Structure 1
């Protein structure tokens, strides 16, 4: 009888172990990722991320589920996002490369003023620089799945910016140190701050100017605070969607391949959506009463010269990789 009990106990224990193993395997096939994004629902970057999440769920039959948290709902600020992905605080995030220069200075190459003008040049520069970005990402325990250019950088203020003197006394919000250097040298007073602080900064009077895109100007309803936008198109900065490497490596090879395929297929669509959004949001700004002008003449020449000086500073500070990227890019575009 005791032998029968022992055998039965062993059988039950073995069955429980197998059941546990089976449950563990099923759980290992279920992956739930939280994705940070700073921008609100309705912003084209957020819509891109949501479309990507939907396709990932589709191609993995629901085994990989990405929850997009817009408007910075997870509490992360721009310069800390790459580190948050690295450390597994979030599994995935959309972030500006240029805001990560504190940890990876080379990521600022896409933000150099007037280096790449417009979407075609931004694409060319990005194609050359992306292998360098991917190496930095790997060193920071993450993998880049797709990138998207923003619409061009403009300046919103209480006046049209037509001469250098028009910058005097304007406290312009910038998104990164390169923008700050650029506009400080042109005579503005810059205040570097993450997107989530911009509208409160305008409302409180901490800033009375912003450099950003048409898309963000609509997101922030800038017509409630400022009357003018000067088109400068000095940069089309790059955002990436990156995934923590541990979360990525937990996926099967099949799911990794499927997700990479989706990212590669959707990437050109996302870039096209950015360009279309620029046109749509420019019309919206004008419709809401924003006066729009374009920088030209002596001021434009001065801005280009100032930008080129920053390229030289960047190469001196960052070194060989920056020089390699910029040299190859300029050779490619013939400028």
Structure 2
């Protein structure tokens, strides 16, 4: 406990004494202390970092000044983030629910249940439909105002040995990072191994994984094609992330400042969705035979799911993914999902028959 308190104090002091200390800040300037996702994935350096470290000060004429650092640079592994946001140590946080929410996280899974959505335009509709549900949950559980939902590049399956069908995943040890991904893996007859991304290199060197689930661009940037030269391009998730603000801090803003922040975050949201769609296509080209405008070609063998695979996926969704999530989240939660996301996907979340 003492170590955690010292860590929190060190984080707060670090945030207050870095770049903000070099700015000439007026007495009425609003300072936003933020934490981002991971510095080694593209969302932070391209979007999250520039937005808070520079853009918001520029568009507000210095009325709002932000500072953000990625969670890996701050030494955070995820679950601390929402507690720190709730307690006002951070004013704003970006994160993935599976990493950032330890307790009662079932409701937060609903916008990104594994393998249900293969198209990013449909995933955008799903995120928009589920936004009000998540907005209420953030406020009730974390004293936070949900401001943005945005995707990482789509999550796919990368393996050491060839994989041509879902059925060929049976018995393989597959890295996951969300319970819903584990549900899919188990539904496919494989073995889920839950671990954070930063632990994957050690697991590969120790030969404890046969496949990993991660995003397309993450796979390319990590040069997974050198360790796992086979990819199965079924989209098993989108890594849907959030941006949320401490409500007490939000309430300190003037109405004009709130409107400005909402406007700029809406622009940021659009940019991130568009960028992810482009990144997905670019990463898949770079992982396989090219062309690759950002580096070497990976020469990975990529196999697209067949109609039979999609039918098996549908069965796993109905028999495993949706029933398990319904049991975790409860009937009221499932009913709300059915009224919103379920209508878009033509699916129903129901508990298994006893």
TM-score interval (norm. to shorter): 0.7 to 0.9
Partners in 1 of 2:231 and 2:281 — Cα distance?
Answer: 14
Pairing of 1:20-35 with structure 2 (within 5 A): 26-35=26-35
- 3-state SS of the aligned residue for 1:190? strand
- 3-state SS of the aligned residue for 1:110? coil
- The answer as to 2:109 corresponding to 1:108 is yes
Counterpart among 305, 308, 313 of residue 303 in structure 1: 313
Alpha-carbon contact 1:110-1:237 (below 8 Å) kept: no
Tell me the CA shift for residue 164 of structure 1.
4.8
| Greater Cα shift, 258-267 or 312-321 | 312-321
- 3-state SS of the aligned residue for 1:234? strand
Alpha-carbon contact 1:148-1:238 (below 8 Å) kept: yes
- The answer as to 2:103 corresponding to 1:92 is no
| Paired position in structure 2 for 1:130 | 131
Partners in 2 of 1:206 and 1:265 — Cα distance?
Answer: 42
Tell me the CA shift for residue 260 of structure 1.
0.9
TM-score of the superposition, structure 2-length normalised? 0.79
- Residues 30-79 of structure 1 deviation map (CA, whole Å, 9 limit, x = unaligned): 414132312416x1354111342232111222233323323611122234
Partners in 2 of 1:173 and 1:107 — Cα distance?
Answer: 21
Tell me the CA shift for residue 246 of structure 1.
2.8
Partners in 2 of 1:245 and 1:204 — Cα distance?
Answer: 44
Partners in 2 of 1:196 and 1:184 — Cα distance?
Answer: 23
Partners in 1 of 2:221 and 2:84 — Cα distance?
Answer: 25
Gaps of 5+ in 2: 1-24, 289-296, 348-354
Alpha-carbon contact 1:118-1:235 (below 8 Å) kept: no
When residues 80 and 175 of structure 1 are mapped into structure 2, their CA distance, relative to the original with a 3 A threshold, is farther
- 3-state SS of the aligned residue for 2:236? coil
| Paired position in structure 2 for 1:206 | 208
| Paired position in structure 2 for 1:178 | 180
| Paired position in structure 2 for 1:4 | none
Counterpart among 140, 160, 163 of residue 161 in structure 1: 163
| Paired position in structure 1 for 2:22 | none
Gaps of 5+ in 1: 1-24
Partners in 2 of 1:175 and 1:94 — Cα distance?
Answer: 17
Tell me the CA shift for residue 184 of structure 1.
1.8
| Greater Cα shift, 258-267 or 299-308 | 299-308
| Paired position in structure 2 for 1:289 | 299
Pairing of 1:35-74 with structure 2 (within 5 A): 35-40=35-40, 43-53=42-52, 54-70=54-70, 72-74=72-74
Alpha-carbon contact 2:97-2:109 (below 8 Å) kept: yes
| Greater Cα shift, 213-222 or 70-79 | 70-79
Partners in 2 of 1:133 and 1:248 — Cα distance?
Answer: 17
Q: Which has the higher contact order (CA 8 A, sep 6+)?
A: 1
